[in-house]
Amino acid sequence: MHAGRMALGLAVAAALAGVTPRAGADDGGAAGAVTGAFGGPVVAPLPADGARLAGAAFMGYRGRDGQSTGAVLTVAPWRAVFLRAGGELTPWSQDGGVRLLWGAGLESARPGTAFLHVHDWGPVRPGEQFTLRHAEASAGYKLPAGCLGPLCVAPAVYATVPFDGGPYAGARAALTLWGSWYVMGAFGRTVPGVLDRARDAAPAPAWRLGWSLGRWSGRAGALFVTYRDELALDRLRTPGVKDRQGRGALMAGAVWTR
């Protein structure tokens, strides 16, 4: 209960924080830092403006796992090259009290740039043997943002290849206000007949839908609050199949860079 009140307090503080200068068309801002349609618990930070480290500490609620407290750290040793690691404590989860994530690749927070990375948003459990089977490779291009006053739209196209099969391609777009408030929507379509899923893996959904909304500027010291969720459209139309597996994640926290 105490952690829940702290998360609520952070969310209110983020919502009431002053409006930051517009960043959606220049250094990425909310649009540039929305790195994936289907992924981690929060928007993972990317170093910008010459920084080499960027991190986010957060707490909130993650679907079936319940209360969650964690952090994500991204290191950019050279230009757009990055290494990312993070973890969460989920004491109420029946699947384990700790979940980890990792990623590496090339990505810039700025629009008008390409990205390529490999990641496993987890849950990676401590003590498990390292494997790439549950990871995926993703590549795409962040199209230039279009702005009208403080309102910006930043689209992107991408293709993702899970290492256990079922590649999909799609697009996403982030609508941002003053470079910090955002609404993001994305879809992905599984490519049939290419790298079919492993026999012991769950079938790949034909269509994926993801969305996220909240306040995120990516600037050092900024507070944020985000909600993200996803679902498989075809499974919603299948009688007797419940697709809602507790994927939604509501998180609030703070960003730092160095």
Domains of the chain: 2-257 (2.40.160)
Please give the Cα distance from 167 to 188 (Å, whole number).
9
Residue 170's CB: how many other CB atoms inside 10 A?
21
Q: Which stretches of the chain drop beneath a pLDDT of 50?
A: 1, 7, 10-25, 243
Q: Is the peptide bond before 123 cis (omega within 30 degrees of 0)?
A: yes
Cα-Cα-Cα-Cα torsion 55, 61, 63, 66, nearest 10 degrees, comes to: 120
In the block, residue with structure tokens 């043997």: 129
State in Å, rounded, how far the first CA of the chain is from the last one: 33
Q: What is the DSSP string of 57-88?
A: EEEEEEGGGEEEEEEEEEEEEETTEEEEEEEE
Q: Where does residue 18 rank: exposed (0-12), middle (13-18), buried (19+ CB within 10 A)?
A: exposed
Tens digits of residue pLDDT in 131-168: 888 899 999 999 999 999 999 999 999 999 999 888 99
Q: Which of 200, 129, 117 is nearest to 165 (CA)?
A: 200
Tokens of 222: 């900024």
pTM for the whole structure: 0.82
Q: Residue 42 gets which letter from DSSP? A: S
Amino acid at 31: A
Q: What is the pLDDT of residue 113?
A: 92
Give the per-residue pLDDT at 24: 44
Q: Nearest CA to 48 among 119, 124, 113, 126?
A: 113
- pLDDT computed for residue 20 by the predictor: 41
pLDDT the model gives residue 234: 61
pLDDT for 97: 94
At 90 the pLDDT is 94
Question: Using CA atoms, how far apart are residues 59 and 90, in angstroms rounded to an integer?
Answer: 10
DSSP letter at 43? P
Residue 238 pLDDT: 54
CB 209 within 8 A of CB 231: yes
Q: CA 68, 56, 140, 143: dihedral to nearest 10 degrees? A: 120
- Give per-residue burial for 184-208: e unless 16+ CB within 10 Å, then b: bebbbebeeeeeeeeeeeeebbebb
**Residue 21: per-residue pLDDT:** 40
Query: Rounded distance, CA 29 to CA 9, Å?
Result: 23
Q: To which H or E segment does residue 166 belong? A: none
pLDDT in tens, 221-233: 889 999 988 876 6
The pLDDT value given to residue 14: 47
From the list 1, 42, 56, 33, the residue with the least C-alpha distance to 249 is 42
